[in-house]
Amino acid sequence: MTVVISLLLVLCVLALFLPLLSRKAVPEFYISSTPAEDREREQTRIKAMLADLRQEYDAGKIPESEFTSMAAELLADLDRIAAVSKSSAKRSSKRLFCDECGAVRPPEVAACSQCGAEFK
């Protein structure tokens, strides 16, 4: 009987602590970072890589052809990220407010509740 009780106790303790353990296993930046923050971090990383590349090119460590193709790739990445953040900012402001009267626009609603304007 005491074996059963102690087994139950161990199970209770495990049930209490397992969620804490598994939550701690997830790195904090996975929880707290937003897509915009991710993009910002990526942009900073690419800019740092560009600066490094420039330094290596200036120091004569890499040939000009390699430098230009690598720099073009990094710049294209920067453009892509900038385009994504621009379009998502546009989309979210469009989704949040009525174009006609500026009233708050709930998602999945076909027409404005304030002025009746149809949302496209």
Among 39, 85, 117, 119, binds Zn ion (CB under 5 A): 117
The minimum distance between CB 116 and Zn ion, in angstroms, equals 7
103: contact with Zn ion by CB under 5 A? yes
Under a CB-based contact definition with an 8 Å cutoff, are residues 49 and 56 in contact?
no
101: contact with Zn ion by CB under 5 A? yes
105: contact with Zn ion by CB under 5 A? no
- Alpha-helical segments (H) within the chain: 2-25, 28-32, 35-58, 64-96
Encoded one letter per residue, x for contact with Zn ion by CB under 5 A and - for no contact, window 55-94 reads ----------------------------------------
Q: How far is Cα of residue 61 from the mean position of the Cα atoms in its chain?
A: 34
Number of residues this chain uses to bind Zn ion (CB under 5 A)? 8
CA–CA dist 106, 96 (Å, integer): 7
Q: Is 116 left (phi over 0), alpha (psi -120 to 50) or beta?
A: left
Residue number, 74 or 117, with CB nearest to Zn ion: 117
Phi, psi for 27 (deg, rounded to 5): -60, 145
104: contact with Zn ion by CB under 5 A? no
Tokens describing residue 59: 């120091």
Among 66, 100, 104, 109, binds Zn ion (CB under 5 A): 100
